[in-house]
A and B are shown apart, each in its own frame.
Chain A
């Protein structure tokens, strides 16, 4: 079983739609959680950190469920520019050398 698992997609949605991604992680000792966005042939860029209480940044909402060991990302009112691969990232020790990346979920927003 992979340490961090994501549905690879692609998720094809129309503009304006709401879309949700889930990510599961296997190590219950994991400490920090992030969603990164990666455009084709570019480096990942931090979208948002994920906190137990849930956090929202504009159209994006992230949730963490430690009991079930999953993380979610909700995107409301999808824009064409949201088309990218979304990487779920888990940090096991906050020291940087134990970041584990999920395989990514590809989102394609259509006009």
Chain B
């Protein structure tokens, strides 16, 4: 089946630093990937849609200058949390859609900002 690999699975960083999260489609090309955030005991919330070769589309309330998305190839999208603060601590998950497989999610990245 379709596999989406996400890295790192967890990261702890100091407040004010930046963190990059990678999302790769391993056995298919994904022109579109999606980035979600999930706070404890809450559901997934779409942050942005990452489009290969063009700018990402951000959901209302998500700061594009803080959450930088780059989709440089058909198999890789990256999310960079810039100047991270403790309130950015969350579970970040990417997903991609592939025909017949539906939406496949990466394994998620647990970010803790201290």
Cross-chain contact B43 with A101 (CB below 8 angstroms): yes
User: B93 in the interface, Cβ–Cβ < 8 Å?
Assistant: yes
Number of interchain pairs (Cβ within 8 Å): 45
The one of B45, B49, B91 in contact with A96, judged by C-beta atoms closer than 8 angstroms, is: B49
CB of B64 within 8 Å of the partner chain: no
> Interface stretch among B71-79, B82-90, B97-105?
B97-105
Closest Cβ–Cβ distance, residue A84 to chain B (whole Å): 14
Contact B110 A44 (CB under 8 A): no
Size category of the binding interface on chain A: 10 to 19
Residue of A nearest to B93 (CB): A43
**B57 near A87: Cβ-Cβ < 8 Å:** no
- Among B43, B49, B97, B101, chain A packs the most CB atoms within 10 A around the CB of B43
Is residue A110 contacting chain B, with contact meaning CB distance below 8 A?
A: no
Instruction: Provide the bound-state CA to CA distance between A45 and B1, in Å.
Output: 12
Chain B residues with CB under 8 A of A34: 102-103
Q: At the interface, yes or no: B54 with Cβ under 8 Å from chain A?
A: no
Give the nearest-CB partner of B107 in chain A: A43
- Tell me, yes or no, whether A1 is within 8 Å of chain B by CB: no
Q: B residues bordering A, Cβ < 8 Å?
A: 6, 32, 34, 42-46, 49, 57, 91, 93, 95, 97, 101-108, 110
